[in-house]
Structure 1
Amino acid sequence: MKNIQPSALVLKMISYVLANQKGGVGKTSVSRHLIFRALEMKLRTLVIDFDPQANTTKTLLHLAKSANPTLDITEPGQVSDAGWLTTARLFHKDSKAQPMPVNEYASLIAADAELVDIADYSLDAIPQPRLSLGKFADQYDVCIIDTPPSQGKLLYAALAAANFVISPCTLDEDATDGLAALFQDIERVRDMEWNSDLKIMGIQINKMDKSSAHDRKALAALRDSVGDLVMKDIIYERAATRLAIRKPVWQGNRGENKGVAAVEMKAACNAILNHVAHQ
């Protein structure tokens, strides 16, 4: 039996989910830079971390500490203890908790330890985060959702809560195989009517080796296979990008080719976020 999509929910903010079922493709790096760029563009930004590893949460907590040096929340587990909304609580119909303010433009719904328990929930719980987010939709311009690199109910719930899917992808066979599995999951989310309007914005090629004949051939093959789903801007493998965790690569001073890395990453982020400005 299908779970009926909550028809009364109209999300006013534009929600992007970053997803690929293969780990190591730079999904969190792209998520972080989208957040950094959205804040520079003064977009009211809600960040949701569905990944139990909580790496995106840790980056946002660093930003919060920078904005408020007296803040005593420095670890993901402390967010829930302080009464702020966490991702697992999105699955609770009666939660009254609010996203944690990070700075003037950003708020966080942090990953928490309870996320590992979501695997035991019934499929009926999958649409609930989308419903829970409805009450915040008019408070933000954009929502950026990071996900775990695996199939399961956390990924389904994140897909159900979003408007658009962006899939960061490297050019190795495992990562491109992960795309096929992700596309199947997107179809399931649509077919189950958890989110029948979910759209694929595109595949963001990440960590491409410019000097690699294999990568160039794999990129050409992927474009032949899925056409315009491959996003125009490529993020190449750069040491500076790997080191950009607490601030964007265009503000960093670590790693070789930081100037080139900054141009490439900012162009990719702009191409996505300019979409918000035209809605």
Structure 2
Amino acid sequence: MKTVAVSNQKGGTGKTCIGLHLAMYLAEAGHSVLFVDIDPQANASKTLAPHSSQEVSSSLFAAEPIEVKKNGGITLISADAKMADMERANPQVVGHFRKNINSLSGAFDFCVIDTPPSLGLRMTSALVAADYVLSPIELEEYSIDGIKMMLQTIFGVKQKYNPKLEFLGMLPNRFNSRSERQKATFSELVKNYSELLVPAKIGFRSSIPEALASGVPVWSLKKTAAKEAGREFKAAFKIVFDRVGGVSDE
């Protein structure tokens, strides 16, 4: 099982949207996907509710082993109320989380972890358990400042706790093609951080939240704008998984 944490220490970058479409993309390619929601807002859990397993995400932080029954292409371990209190838990829960994720590795091809938008035990647990991390960003000044802190966190975890962790890159999201400022920011990122950037952009379109509210990927909608958004997602994910080693259709 390849585990991808979708993380950014700044909120509002659309990481849940990216994580959900990533899981749906993998499932449509014929892979079994475990989606773990450790964001107490539980937005991903609402979208994937029909795919819920019998386990909830707080159980992943417990010492007791868990069992998860597959539920079609995507199996959800949903966020529960205890997630809000997890930051006050004993730091040893980080090891419990990694152990429980590893115990499920034989049952699934991929695991996607949606993390909260702040550094703490939950995000640290995801990074310690993951093989890869993908960081959605907005092309705004505050978001760029946030990704610098996120990179420090990622490489700190890699150095101290998880040497196998690989950074897949910053994925520009909610891009406004009419904004000269955002286009200039993207050009600046390409110039200064090309090796840390996914060279693709996901545009800002109302069809994306509309699709997720219906529990489907945006490319399944028949609207022209939705199909264009779908092409952007798939192009970005192809780049991402070329870095992982490829994702074959089955």
TM over 0.5: yes
Partners of 1:100 and 1:109 within 8 A in 2: no
Distance change >3 Å, CA 51–CA 100, structure 1 → 2: farther
TM-superposed deviation, 1:272: 2.8
Q: Which residue of 1 aligns with 2:90?
A: 122
Which amino acid letter does the alignment assign opposite residue 55 of structure 2? L
Aligned partner of residue 134 in structure 1, secondary structure: helix
Q: Which residue of 2 aligns with 1:111?
A: 79
Q: Deviations over 1:113-156 (max 9, x none)?
A: 11122111232322221111121111111111101111111110
Q: Deviations over 1:224-252 (max 9, x none)?
A: 22222111221111222232201111111
TM-superposed deviation, 1:61: 1.1
TM-superposed deviation, 1:47: 0.7
TM-score (norm 2): 0.91
TM-superposed deviation, 1:278: 6.0
Unaligned runs of 5+ in 2: none
Partners of 1:99 and 1:108 within 8 A in 2: no
Which amino acid letter does the alignment assign opposite residue 257 of structure 1? A
Which amino acid letter does the alignment assign opposite residue 102 of structure 2? G
Unaligned runs of 5+ in 1: 1-12, 65-72, 74-78
Partners of 2:5 and 2:134 within 8 A in 1: yes
* Partner Cα distance (2:57, 2:226) in 1: 34
Match of 1:92 among 43, 49, 62: 62
* Partner Cα distance (1:219, 1:23) in 2: 19
1:208 aligns with 2:175: yes
TM-superposed deviation, 1:100: 5.0
Q: Deviations over 1:193-237 (max 9, x none)?
A: 2x1221101111111111211001111112222222111221111
Partners of 1:60 and 1:102 within 8 A in 2: no
Q: Which residue of 1 aligns with 2:19?
A: 31
Q: Residues 183-198 of structure 1: matches in 2 within 5 Å?
A: 183-193=151-161, 195-198=162-165
TM-superposed deviation, 1:276: 5.3
Partners of 2:198 and 2:240 within 8 A in 1: no
Distance change >3 Å, CA 222–CA 228, structure 1 → 2: same
Partners of 1:141 and 1:276 within 8 A in 2: no
Q: Which residue of 1 aligns with 2:70?
A: 101
Q: Residues 175-254 of structure 1: matches in 2 within 5 Å?
A: 175-193=143-161, 195-245=162-212, 246-253=215-222
* Partner Cα distance (2:246, 2:193) in 1: 26
Q: Which residue of 2 aligns with 1:267?
A: 235
Aligned partner of residue 109 in structure 1, secondary structure: strand
Q: Which residue of 2 aligns with 1:152?
A: 120
Partners of 2:24 and 2:74 within 8 A in 1: no
Q: Which residue of 1 aligns with 2:43?
A: 55
TM-score (norm 1): 0.82
Q: Residues 131-150 of structure 1: matches in 2 within 5 Å?
A: 131-150=99-118
Partners of 2:241 and 2:247 within 8 A in 1: no
TM-superposed deviation, 1:44: 1.1
Aligned partner of residue 106 in structure 2, secondary structure: helix
* Partner Cα distance (1:114, 1:165) in 2: 24
Partners of 1:38 and 1:273 within 8 A in 2: no
* Partner Cα distance (1:155, 1:131) in 2: 15
Aligned partner of residue 123 in structure 1, secondary structure: coil
Which amino acid letter does the alignment assign opposite residue 61 of structure 2? F
